[in-house]
Structure 1
Amino acid sequence: MPLHLQKLEDEDRLSMLIDDMLLSILGRVSLRMAVRTAVLSTRWRHLPWLLPELSINVEDFLSVPCTEPLDANDMEEAMVSLTKATRGFLADQKRGSTISILHLKLYLINTFLCEVGPLVCDAIDNGLLKDLDLTVLDETDPLDCSDEDMLQRAQEIDTFFRAYPSVLHCLTKLSLKNAGFDKLDMHHVLFDCCKQLKDLSLCYCDTGTFSVFKIDAPNSKLCVLDIDKCRFERIELVCLPKLETFICTTWVSQHVPVTFGFVPSLGELELSWGKSYDRCPFKLSELLHGTTSIHYLTLDFQGENLWLQPEMEELCTAFNKLKKLSVCGVFVEFDIIWITAFLVAAPSIEKLHIQVWNHACDVGDFRGDVYRDRSTPQWEMRFNGSENRLLKVLEIDGFRALEQQFTFIRSMLERSPNLQKIILRGDDQCDDCRPLDASLLHPSKFPQKDEEEMVVERIRDGIFSPEIIFDEDWSLSI
């Protein structure tokens, strides 16, 4: 059969599928691609308006290539296209079914919000739209954002919500950036008005520099809270009964950055911070006081000094249900045997993930004046013959054949009789590191094929027999 006829036959077979299967296919491509596909075939023409989940992202409408950083004209042109797309997909006469969720990413340009706002409100009021995932983008570098700029941005967000209250009523996910709510009641907007909110992300947002953000929302449905580089002195989670995941990145507090009150559903906690040279280390047990269900904990030190005080027994209560522990950003020259302290406190851990930090771009002359020398952590180990019988998987990212890493792995095998699998991965270095890699004391050299057998022998030491997996190209697949 000629090639062009074979292609036509394949297309006909695809078009013979039922609508549900074709919608499943369209749901895996961008909205622009779905519309283009519909234009090419009468069979597909009505399908984009039947999609139960829509994603309208202003970034998809930016010209290619676009300026870096984006200028106002690029953003305005993209918002023109987004407004047109929103109008087309939320029009009653074209819709054949209810939209279960709309993912909407836009720029805060009042000219266009006055058009997009009513469209979304009408869809909500008419029962066409059930849930809204809203991201308010901002291309301004936070370092170039003054306090006045942040106050103005928060005021514009508040004005938009006040003008279109229906948006708040079906808002299930919200992401904000560069907004200062010093003169506004952020708690009222986010927790009293957004009664359906389940996922909240705040980046470079606050209620004033070094302010305390207290969340007391017993009726809130919030499940995920992500606080990234916000200038809160402390976050007090007084009452969030549905909260399952809390992420806190780069805080300004000199001491414990967050306190937990009534958070009975909190199971996943991620703390990430690098610049610890001018901060007092705090006790993790103090921070975790009040939590009872943490099962997945991530600690990321971003290659700097540890911001935790040494402790073991004090952590036992908080670590009682811990199943997975991820310790990231541990400087390559640090001894990592101290991580064993967490295993002593958490005998129920099933998976341990460690990521070694080995960035050439922040070593020696490349570090800059804002950092100080790193100090090797000194933690007193008191094992008392305890074992981790549930630990089955150990993952090490940034592995290299250093004696300290072999020592750590063997110590894990000695105290974890059921450790079945060890996954060793290479570095996930940034673009700035690659030309500087030779400057490192321990260059990013993952074991070659002919070296793997030697590594296996060093780990097993003639005593142990875990499965050992080498995964050099892991960073290319994530």
Structure 2
Amino acid sequence: MKNKSGRPRKSALNEAAAGNKNGRRRQNLKATRNEAAASNASEDRLSKLPNDLLLNILERVDTLDAIRTCILSKQLLKLPTMLSRFYLTFSRKQVFRTNRAVAHVADNILSTRSPKVTISELKIRFVLLPDVSLTIGRFVARAMATQKVGTAEFEIVTKKRHDLCSSDDLLQFGKQLNDLFGACPRAFAGLTSLWLQNMRFEHDQLVEIEVDQGKFERVELICLPKLQRLTYDNWFSSEDPLYFGFVPQLSKLSLVKTGIRSDKTLELSQLLANVPSIGDLCLDFGSEKIWILPECPKLLKPALNKLQHVNLEHLPEGCDLAWTMFILEAAPSLKELCITVWDHWCIMITNKELRKKYCFCEKADVKWKPYALISSTRIWLSSPSTGSNPTAILCDTLGVLWNMRLI
């Protein structure tokens, strides 16, 4: 409708405006619905992926995060029991809050999963608390007995930090671990790695100790009256890796270390100050840095007074063997010294960038000031890298000195 001037009436304009608004509203509503549908379709894409691909994704995150993800979809709920890798690890603050949750979740998953699915990796970090620790130990022991398990690791932390622990606390934590071990021996028997902190143990019947890849600041053997043999393979400490207290029967010591620049050079006179009965000593240098300091025989003699057999293994090629002579002077009872010089390419890192990154030394040798020899002995020298069959040369002290150009 138009008025006399030819213009549309106001009522017609209002109706048209209302119509446009309704049209826009319908368009906006339709667009919103389309966006919601697209969003739902996008969210549903995850559950539509093949199980193998979903498991590959879920096994790359912590197991609890994977479980939280599976709760979002019915299609995903069955996947936690199909996981082959379990990582139940948290920061210290999270561990204290979720220690029971770790036990509950892990128990539910491992008890309902199919034994036909191999557990390739199992890593659990928990606080050493008697009730919860026992629950974790039992379900892991059950998994070890009923299922195939590849690598398994416990990382056990204590309720107190090291700087807050008293001597009584350390003994208590050690006792709690012993109790857990006694209650769940199968769980510990199947472990391939065990990480501990803040514990002290008493075991007066222990005869032999072997520590492999020990990430300890220091292992203190305070009172082990029957200990006879000790092996420590690759420690990770900038200090002396061992402290010996009362170990009157310790006669065989084997130390293996691939040394880098930051490693401390050990002094046997200090390390073995309380070990007067060492008769067999093996030092393996992994074809890298020499981490033993040649010392004055007068200082070292009390520690090596009963030493009869010495093996110096995997000395780097090109190493000046003169430094080894300090052992001859300090060990009057020595019967045999076996030295293996070998750049073992299978165990060495040869890439220059990696050697620089991990602080390997370019020059691994040490220097020694010759002293007058006080004994003679027989020495085996071998160099496996010179041929497929290692060559052993038996010679007396004068012959060795001649080969080393000392006389």
TM value normalised by structure 1? 0.46
Note closer, same or farther for the CA distance 1:192–1:150 as it changes in structure 2 (3 Å cut): closer
Secondary structure of the residue aligned to 2:386 is: coil
Candidates 250, 253, 258, aligned match of 2:242: 258
Matched, 1:242 2:246: no
Do the aligned partners of residues 415 and 150 (structure 1) sit closer, same or farther apart at CA in structure 2, a change above 3 Å counting? farther
Letter matched to residue 349 of structure 1: L
Instruction: Tell me what 1:376 maps to.
Output: 365
What residue number does 1:317 align with? 302
| Corresponding position of 1:362 | 349
| Pair 1:201–1:224, CA change in 2 (3 A) | farther
Distance in 2 (CA, whole Å) between partners of 1:333 and 1:290 is: 34
Unaligned runs of 5+ in 1: 1-71, 77-108, 115-137, 165-175, 418-457, 460-478
Match of 2:194, SS?
A: coil
Q: After superposition, what is the alpha-carbon deviation per residue over 1:49-99, rounded to whole angstroms, capped at 9, x for unaligned?
A: xxxxxxxxxxxxxxxxxxxxxxx97989xxxxxxxxxxxxxxxxxxxxxxx
Are the equivalent residues in 2 in contact too, given 1:356–1:396 (CA < 8 A)?
yes
Pairs aligned (count): 269
Matched, 1:299 2:283: yes
Cα distance per residue 1:308-334 (max 9 Å; x no partner):
222142221121222221112211121
The TM-score with structure 2 as length reference comes to: 0.53
Distance change in 2, residues 1:409/1:317 (3 Å): farther
Query: CA separation in 1, counterparts of 2:331 and 2:174?
Result: 35
Helix, strand or coil at the partner of 2:396: helix
**CA distance in structure 1 between the partners assigned to 2:252 and 2:120 by the alignment:** 30
Does the 8 A contact of 2:277 with 2:306 survive in 1?
yes
CA distance in 1, matches of 2:179, 2:308: 34
How far does the alpha carbon of each residue in 1:335-369 deviate from its partner, in whole angstroms, 9 at most, with x for none? 12211211221132223222223134533637532
Change (3 A) 1:359 1:366: farther
1:338 equivalent in alignment to 2:326: no
Q: How much does 1:157 deviate?
A: 10
Aligned match for 1:179, one of 148, 154, 179: 154
Question: Shift in Å at residue 228 of structure 1?
Answer: 1.6
Is contact 1:186–1:207 with CA below 8 Å preserved after alignment? no
Provide the residue aligned with 1:400 in structure 2. Answer: 386
Pick closer, same or farther for the CA change 1:415–1:254 going to 2, 3 Å: same
Counterpart contact for 1:232–1:253, Cα < 8 Å: yes
Alpha-carbon separation, structure 2, partners of 1:157 and 1:244: 36
Paired AA for residue 376 in structure 1: D
Alignment of 1:413 with 2:367, yes or no, is no
SS at match of 1:377: coil
Distance 1:150 1:294, change over 3 A: farther
Letter of the 2:352 partner, please give it.
Answer: D
The 3-state SS of whatever aligns with 1:232 is coil
Give the whole-Å Cα distance in 1 for the aligned partners of 2:308 and 2:131: 43
Cα distance in 1 for residues equivalent to 2:207 and 2:190: 11
Equivalent position SS for 1:233: coil
Q: Is the 8 A contact 1:386 1:415 kept in 2?
A: no
The whole-number CA distance in structure 2 between the counterparts of 1:414 and 1:306 is 23
Q: Of the candidates 178, 181, 194, which is equivalent to residue 205 of structure 1?
A: 194
* Contact 1:316 1:345 (C-alpha < 8 Å) held by counterparts: yes
Amino acid paired to 2:396: L
- Percent sequence identity is 23
The aligned runs of 1:150-169 (5 Å cut-off) are: 150-151=125-126, 158-159=133-134
Number of the residue aligned with 2:272: 288
1:246-299 per-position Cα deviation (integer Å, ceiling 9, x unaligned)? 111222221211100111121111111113311221312211121122111111
**In structure 2, C-alpha distance between the alignment counterparts of 1:201 and 1:307, rounded to whole Å:** 34
Q: Which amino acid aligns with 1:249?
A: D
Q: One-letter code of the match for 1:378?
A: K
Report the Cα distance in structure 2 between the residues aligned to 1:178 and 1:154, rounded to whole angstroms: 18
Deviations 1:390-423 (A, max 9, x none): x3x625252539xxx99x969x523489xxxxxx
Judge conservation of contact 1:299–1:326 (CA < 8 Å) in 2.
yes
Q: Using the TM superposition, give the Cα deviation of residue 205 of structure 1 relative to its aligned residue in structure 2, in angstroms.
A: 3.3
Cα distance in 1 for partners of 2:228, 2:251 equals: 5
CA gap 1:409/1:214 in 2 versus in 1, 3 angstroms: farther
Q: Distance in 2 between matches of 1:224 and 1:112?
A: 38
For the structure 1 residues 366 and 163, does the alpha-carbon distance in structure 2 shift closer, same or farther, using more than 3 Å as the test? closer
Question: Which structure would you say has the larger Rg?
Answer: 2
2:226 match: secondary structure:
coil
Distance, in Å, in 2 between the alignment partners of 1:202 and 1:354 is 35
> For the residues of structure 1 that align with 2:399 and 2:212, how far apart are their CA atoms?
35
User: What secondary structure, in the 3-state scheme, does the structure 2 residue paired with 1:159 have?
Assistant: helix
Separation in 1 of the partners of 2:137 and 2:213? 27
1:154 and 1:179 in contact (8 A); partners too: no
The aligned residue for residue 222 of structure 1 is 206
Asked if the contact 1:180/1:207 (under 8 Å) is kept, the reply is yes
Asked whether the equivalents of residues 228 and 252 of structure 2 are also in contact (C-alpha less than 8 Å), the reply is: yes
Q: Is the 8 A contact 2:267 2:293 kept in 1?
A: yes
Matches of 2:251 and 2:221, distance apart in 1: 14
Q: Whose RCO is larger (CA < 8 A, sep 6+)?
A: 2
Contact 2:234–2:256 at 8 Å: present in 1 too?
yes
- The answer to whether 1:387 aligns with 2:376 is yes
8 A contact 2:228–2:251 mirrored in 1? yes
User: Alpha carbons of 1:249 and 1:375: their partners in 2 closer, same or farther (altered >3 Å)?
Assistant: same
Distance in 1 between residues matched to 2:278 and 2:382, nearest whole Å? 22
What letter matches 1:220 in structure 2?
A: D
Query: 1:340 is aligned with what amino acid?
Result: M
